[in-house]
């Protein structure tokens, strides 16, 4: 599904990712952990195609296609979804209009018929109930007046509607209380599927207790310095990230 080789990325001329390799098979959930500033968001953002990053070298292939050659909107159409660490409010843009356009862009890409306003509403309202999304959600502007937890919930909800194939979630767990974390985790787990891959960026083990990953990678100073199974989350919680600095210094 995703194969990253030797990826080097700079921000403002400073090299942040320094030759990163990572591959994720369809059906798998991988977690990327690591200290603040290690490049986790940079990795997720570069895969999604956000502005402000210079790719210095390496490759990112998605279903055998050169992802870096695609515009961000084409990556989204092709099924790449990035959930934000801090979902933004977009005053003036109706959630219903935005979501229908996004859903129909995905449907078109898959050769499916587009949904008219009525069919879309029926589909969306059913799903809103499942995820406990507040009823005025569709009438509001994107995320306007939502609490942090509500924004994250809305983010997961949008993701479910788009039926993405590669899901990138950047600290979706930050700032969530335990109930919101459960709702968000349930939403993520519901999306686990044999034809879908997920990359969860997180600082903490808590999310991974609810969404057990197949693999965990530890990022430090722009490189994956350790990979392992789910048990790695527990080890990290005990040892912290201090050992990384020692390891980097000796290397």
- Residue 11 vs 56, nearer CB to ligand ADP: 11
Instruction: Indicate whether 185 belongs to the interface with Mg ion (CB under 5 A).
Output: no
CB of 233 closer than 8 Å to CB of 173: no
User: Which residues ranging from 32 to 61 are in contact with Mg ion (CB under 5 A)?
Assistant: 36, 40-41
Q: How far is the CB of 37 from Mg ion (least distance, A)?
A: 6
Separation CA 162–CA 156 (nearest Å): 10
Separation CA 143–CA 29 (nearest Å): 27
Q: How far is the CB of 186 from ligand ADP (least distance, A)?
A: 25
The token duo for 48 is 């999604």
Separation CA 237–CA 153 (nearest Å): 26
User: Which strands sit side by side in the sheet containing 29-33, from one edge to the other?
Assistant: 80-83, 166-170, 197-201, 29-33, 215-220, 223-228
Which of ligand ADP, Mg ion, none binds 38 (CB below 5-8 Å, type-dependent)?
Answer: ligand ADP
- C-alpha 145 chain-centroid distance: 23
Q: What Rg value do the Cα atoms of the chain yield, rounded?
A: 18
Q: How far is the CB of 37 from ligand ADP (least distance, A)?
A: 4
Q: How far is the CB of 83 from Mg ion (least distance, A)?
A: 12
The residues, any chain, with a CB within 8 Å of residue 158's CB and separated by 6 or more, are 99, 102
- Residue 28 vs 171, nearer CB to Mg ion: 171
Residues found near ligand ADP in the complex (CB under 6 A): 11-12, 16, 34, 36-42, 52
- Residue 36 vs 250, nearer CB to Mg ion: 36
Q: How far is the CB of 16 from ligand ADP (least distance, A)?
A: 4
- Residue 35 vs 149, nearer CB to Mg ion: 35
Separation CA 41–CA 168 (nearest Å): 10
- Residue 28 vs 171, nearer CB to ligand ADP: 171
Which of ligand ADP, Mg ion, none binds 39 (CB below 5-8 Å, type-dependent)?
Answer: ligand ADP
Q: For Mg ion, which stretch binds (CB under 5 A), given 18-26, 30-38, 120-128, 190-198?
A: 30-38
Which of ligand ADP, Mg ion, none binds 185 (CB below 5-8 Å, type-dependent)?
Answer: none
Which of ligand ADP, Mg ion, none binds 52 (CB below 5-8 Å, type-dependent)?
Answer: ligand ADP
- Residue 103 vs 201, nearer CB to ligand ADP: 201
| DSSP track, 140-203 | SEETTT--HHHHHHHHHHHHHHH--SEEEEESTTTT--HHHHHHHHHHHHHH--TT-EEEEE-S
Where does this chain bind Mg ion (CB under 5 A)?
A: 36, 40-41
């Amino acid at each position: 599904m995703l194969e990253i080789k030797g990826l080097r990325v700079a921000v403002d001329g400073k090299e942040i990712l320094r030759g990163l390799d990572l591959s994720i098979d369809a059906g798998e959930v991988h977690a990327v952990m690591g200290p603040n500033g290690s490049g986790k968001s940079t990795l997720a953002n570069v895969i999604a195609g956000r502005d402000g990053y210079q790719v210095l070298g390496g490759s990112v292939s998605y279903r055998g296609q050169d992802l870096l050659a695609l515009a961000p909107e084409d990556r989204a159409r092709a099924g790449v979804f990035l959930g934000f660490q801090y979902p933004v409010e977009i005053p003036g843009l109706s959630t219903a209009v935005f979501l229908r356009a996004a859903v129909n862009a995905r449907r078109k890409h898959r050769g499916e018929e587009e949904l008219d306003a009525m069919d879309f509403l029926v589909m969306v309202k059913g799903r809103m109930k499942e995820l406990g999304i507040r009823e005025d959600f569709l009438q509001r502007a994107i995320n306007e007046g939502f609490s942090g937890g509500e924004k994250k919930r809305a983010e997961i909800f949008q993701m479910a509607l788009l039926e993405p194939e590669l899901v990138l979630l950047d600290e979706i767990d930050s700032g969530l209380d335990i109930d919101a974390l459960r709702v968000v985790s349930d939403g993520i787990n519901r999306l686990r599927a044999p034809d879908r891959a997920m990359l969860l960026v997180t600082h903490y083990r808590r999310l991974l207790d609810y969404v057990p990953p197949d693999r965990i990678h530890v990022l430090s100073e722009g490189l994956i310095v350790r990979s392992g199974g789910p048990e790695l989350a527990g080890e990290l919680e005990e040892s912290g990230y201090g050992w990384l600095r020692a390891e980097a210094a000796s290397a």
